[in-house]
Amino acid sequence: MGGGYELREATEEDAGKVEALARLCQPLRASVKGTYEYLALCFPRYFLLAFSGEQLVGFVVGLPSLAGEAWIYQICVHPDHRRRRVGELLMEEELGRFRSDRFPRVRARVLETNQPSLSLMRKMGLRERGKKGEWVELEREL
Ligand SMILES: CC(C)(COP(=O)(O)OP(=O)(O)OC[C@H]1O[C@@H](n2cnc3c(N)ncnc32)[C@H](O)[C@@H]1OP(=O)(O)O)[C@@H](O)C(=O)NCCC(=O)NCCS
């Protein structure tokens, strides 16, 4: 694993730290601890954490939809650890899991003003398919 960062699945005990990190990651709309607890309970395979030693430095939450598609719900990297490929590492592992679980495509919505995130999604192969208000909708076949 590059850069000394390690990934593992979230557990409900991680929820408080995930909430604290999410609050440092505007424009991401941080969820509350209880929501992250349930996301870890229900979707641990798609709720991945990145660590530098003991420190939580990033996470991604993916959600399978009832329509059979995979969504990236949130991705966030601690400001002190950005531009070191942590976001890319999280996305690569997430997309690999979606692919091996046979989702046909992955989708995401990103604020049109959020250039870092739009750029990350494009780098991971997602392409714009439309707009919903101030949100850009992106998707890629898996
Ligand atoms: C978006 C975010 C997760 C990127 O994480 P990161 O670990 O810094 O990204 P990486 O180092 O893996 O960069 C991968 C690619 O993302 C893009 N990228 C990341 N930061 C960028 C920036 N500040 N400006 C432009 N492109 C950027 C680039 O394409 C980059 O590839 P490159 O280095 O070859 O140019 C991080 O900036 C973040 O947490 N932002 C706040 C939360 C957020 O907006 N989340 C998305 C909404 S849910």
For residue range 69-125, what is the model confidence (pLDDT) as tens digits? 999 999 999 999 999 999 999 999 999 999 999 999 999 999 999 999 999 999 999
Structural domain includes residue 96? yes
Instruction: Look up the CATH number of the domain holding residue 64.
Output: 3.40.630.30
Ligand 1 pocket, mutate which of 82, 112, 113 (most atoms under 8 A from CB)? 82
Structural domain includes residue 59? yes
**Pair 108, 72: CB distance under 8 Å:** yes
Could you tell me the distance, in angstroms and rounded to a whole number, from the CA of residue 99 to the centre of ligand 1? Answer: 22
Say yes or no to pLDDT of 65 above 90.
yes
Nearest to 28 by CA among 38, 18, 16: 18
Say yes or no: CB of residue 25 within 6 Å of ligand 1.
Answer: yes
In total, how many domains does the chain have? 1
Domain of 57? 2-104
